[in-house]
Structure 1
Amino acid sequence: MQPEILDLQNITKSFTESKIPAVNNISFTLQQGDILALLGPSGCGKTTLLRIIGGFEYPQTGEIKIADRKVCCPMTWIPPEKRDIGIVFQDYALFPHLTVAQNVGFGLKLDKHQTKKRVADVLNLVRLETLEQRYPYELSGGQQQRVALARALAPQPKLMLLDEPLCNLDIQVRLQLREEIRDILKRAGTSAIFITHDQEEALAIADVVGVMRQGHLEQIGTPEEVYSHPASRFVAEFVTQANFLPARRQGNIWQTEIGDFEIDSKRDRDTGEIMIRQEDLILNPDTNAKVKITKRRFLGREYRYCLETASGREIHARTMTDTVLPEGISVKISIVDNAVKVFSE
């Protein structure tokens, strides 16, 4: 196992204008070389937590270690410039009057020859070695973001902090650049924390995903763990965009209006909600069924169906394009094996 690059213990931060802590008793560790995506809706505290790690906010309680060095505790406070971190902002924060090479080399405490070599190395890492003499206004948004990433990597920080770095880019550039950012960080061997509210982005980039809600860390784990085994209804709804249906238990059978499902649940209550991911619903035409297709949307690689149950509840299903069902027909629903999870009310 790799050594820990970051250790947070019981971090809490409150602002005077709010009764609810922006960050509430958060603890976790990050291994050397891993990328952590902090995921959550706007206002959940993820940017405040990033600023605390970076040294731009002071928590009321807690302790932070970066590379086994205490940078924050009741008796210690290390300022941002001495924490050995790199930061990439949403707006790139490039100097418009400096060339790409000058932006990347800005702040490096090396002699002229060493600075030139280090700038060349990181520009090669981000594949911008032919653009070193251009100015920021001569670059695309994606190129400007790679310059910002190169500048943050140039001092060889132990930890990178990226605050929604892709939010100002169009969708095609985002899709390409998120893969490039992961590849660049992995080639550099740099650990990173990546802030996003985009579920797909977090799952694609990160080795570890932390889901935040109202200042709490609801769940932290691998992308597969968080997606397949959500720890709470909020995580299930936010990350997987699943369907939820009221259910009543009879033994191991949970009864719903679309069918009965056997679930090995340790919960004591006899009522709850079952979670079914959209891609786990199997649709078969059946004139006697009580579920109808009201809408079908083509999404390129798949179809998304809007379904109406007998009670008028709306649920959704996603299928590959080899399954084409017309709007208005009734369908019988079945579920992929072991794909149903129950949450107590």
Structure 2
Amino acid sequence: MSHPCPGNRVAEQTPRLEIRNLCRSYEGRRVVDDVSLAVRPGHVTCLLGPSGCGKSTTLRMIAGVEMQDSGEIHVDGKLICDTRTRVPPELRNIGLMFQDFALFPHLSVFENVGFGLNGDRAARARRIREMLDRVGLGQFENAFPHELSGGEQQRVALARALAPRPRIMLMDEPFSGLDNRLRDGIRDETLDILREEDAAVLLVTHEPNEAMRMADEIALMRGGKIVQRGAPYNVYNSPVDRDAVSFFSDINVIRGTVHGALTDTPFGRFLAPGVPDGQAVDIVIRPQHIKIDFDRGGRGPNPTSIDGSPALGVVQRSRFMGSESLIEFRMEHDGSTLRATVPNVFLPQPGLKLWLMIRRDRCFVFPARDGRAAG
């Protein structure tokens, strides 16, 4: 019986890519601020955030096309770049995929995939055809990029990036130029190939759905910083603040004031542990977690420990969204607006009174941004 070597266990724990405390400023403005993360072989980490948050700049520093002001970049435990040491981009064994694919229009598909490959002609040809077969384009090796669809061009770009067997793959919004109908299938195919190649993947996107679909870990960026990291399920269901909730979905916000670690609202009391008395809080709930019930002669459903107390709302408008309906309510207690989504087709007429309840286990309570008590 063979036993695993302790050294192998250590090697398995070493991240393929690790960045430590990266910083970058432009004209006195810090665009990447103390960013650290690690990516293991065969895993996909997604830098997710709005435009201008610093995620693409982070990618360019890892690729070596831009220099950090401070911080370190390590590959397989070895330092490749700090403010004194710098391995050139072409020696980092890092693959790149960008939004525009960057294919050479005057080269055939075969020549595009082979660009940058070393070795003798026969070995290069074998690797090119292996990668074209892998992405399902073996029959197009003599075609030119303009003769291909957007999805086919994306797969050529993937084959070219993977042909040199990079240890790390950096992807900057690589699917944003694709038709929505093609995007999901091509993302799934790409993910399968990347994992087969055992590359460590760092994907940049501003689309939460893409991050949720592809990533093993999401690093949520805002204002040059990583504000939250974790598995997609945890980032979605345990958000660090109100902005983290709203980045992934529409939200409703109910304002309240804390007294004795409790907040009174028309929907009942909410726990607010650790929040001082008199502090205003925002109770945040997603539209899909609001329950709707019919009015029964001025009475709604009975309060429960899970759903709290019902509050009466008047339908302002309702819209069919395909797999669900979106209903907007004006709440009778204060005139505020709440939005609810329900599965299938439910389109109540404007003016109809309905009772709303909100799931306690699906609400998030955060200190209000302005700190003022509710009026």
Which residue identity does 1:129 align to in structure 2? G
Give me the whole-angstrom Cα distance separating, in 2, the residues matched to 1:123 and 1:2.
Answer: 32
The reply to whether residue 183 of structure 1 matches residue 205 of structure 2 is no
2:367 matched residue in structure 1? 344
Tell me the TM-score normalized by structure 2.
0.86
TM-align CA RMSD: 1.8
Distance 1:201 1:327 in 2: 35
**Counterpart position of 1:63:** 72
1:253–1:32 distance in 2 versus 1, CA, 3 Å: same
Structure 1 residue 66 displacement after superposition: 1.6
SS state at 2:16 partner: strand
Native 8 Å contact 1:84 1:159 kept in 2: yes
SS of structure 2 residue aligned to 1:33: coil
Q: Which amino acid aligns with 1:93?
A: A
Query: Structure 2: how far apart are the matches of 1:313 and 1:150?
Result: 53
**Distance between the aligned counterparts of 1:204 and 1:264, measured in 2?**
32
Aligned residue for 1:75, secondary structure, equals coil
SS of match in other structure, 1:178: helix
The aligned counterpart of 1:8 is 19
Task: Summarize deviations over 1:321-341 as a string: whole Å, max 9, x none.
Answer: 165544432221112351111
Determine the C-alpha separation between the residues in 2 that align with 1:187 and 1:314. Answer: 48
Q: Residue 319 of structure 2 aligns to which amino acid in structure 1? A: R
Q: Which residue of 1 aligns with 2:341?
A: 318
Residue 146 to residue 25, structure 1, CA distance change in 2 (3 Å):
same
Equivalent position amino acid for 1:344 in 2: P
2:50 to 41, 58, 66: 41
Q: How does 1:141-156 map to 2 (within 5 A)?
A: 141-156=150-165
- The one-letter amino acid of 2:104's match is F
Asked if structure 1 preserves the Cα contact closer than 8 Å seen for 2:261 and 2:274, the reply is: no
What's the CA shift for 1:264? 5.8
Aligned match for 2:268, one of 260, 263, 271: 260
User: Equivalents in 1 of 2:322, 2:276: separation in Å?
Assistant: 43
Residue identity over aligned pairs, in percent, reads 36
Give the alignment of 1:139-288 within 5 angstroms. Answer: 139-257=148-266, 259-263=267-271, 265-269=273-277, 270-286=279-295, 288=298
Question: Unpaired runs of 5+ in structure 2?
Answer: 1-11, 299-310, 369-375
For residues 89-121 of structure 1, what are the alpha-carbon distances to aligned partners after superposition, in whole Å with 9 as ceiling and x for unaligned? 111110111111111011100111111111112
Q: Taking structure 1 as the reference length, what is the TM-score of the superposition?
A: 0.93
Structure 1 counterpart of 2:331 = 309
Number of aligned residues: 342
Q: Quick one: distance in 1 between partners of 2:187 and 2:216?
A: 13
**Cα shift at 1:22:** 0.6
User: Do the aligned partners of 1:10 and 1:27 also contact (CA within 8 Å) in 2?
Assistant: yes
CA separation of 1:290/1:197 partners in 2, compared to 1, >3 Å: closer, same or farther?
Answer: same
Rg larger for = 2
SS of residue in 2 equivalent to 1:32: coil
Deviations 1:255-286 (A, max 9, x none): 234x1243363333542101111211111122
For structure 1, list consecutive stretches of 5 or more residues without a partner in the other structure: none
Deviations 1:4-48 (A, max 9, x none): 1111111110011xx431101111212221111111111111111
Tell me the SS of whatever aligns to 1:182.
Answer: helix
Query: Per-residue deviation at 1:252?
Result: 4.8
Whole-angstrom distance in 1 between the partners of 2:329 and 2:143: 53
Q: What is the alpha-carbon distance in structure 1 between the residues aligned to residue 350 and residue 14 of structure 2?
A: 55
Match of 1:328 in 2: 351
Change (3 A) 1:332 1:72: same
**CA distance 1:344–1:337, shift in 2 (3 Å):** closer
Does the aligned pair in 2 maintain the 1:41–1:197 contact within 8 Å? yes
Give the deviation of 1:71 after TM superposition. Answer: 1.4
Residues 276-324 of structure 1: per-residue CA shift (max 9 Å, x gap): 1121111112264531222222222111222222333322222111655
Q: Is the 8 A contact 2:22 2:68 kept in 1?
A: yes
The Cα of 1:215 is off from its aligned counterpart by 0.6
Query: Is the contact between residue 40 and residue 46 of structure 1 (CA under 8 Å) also seen in structure 2?
Result: yes
Moved more, 286-295 or 40-49: 286-295
* Partner SS for 1:211: strand
Aligned to 1:81: 90
Q: Note the C-alpha offset of 1:70.
A: 1.0
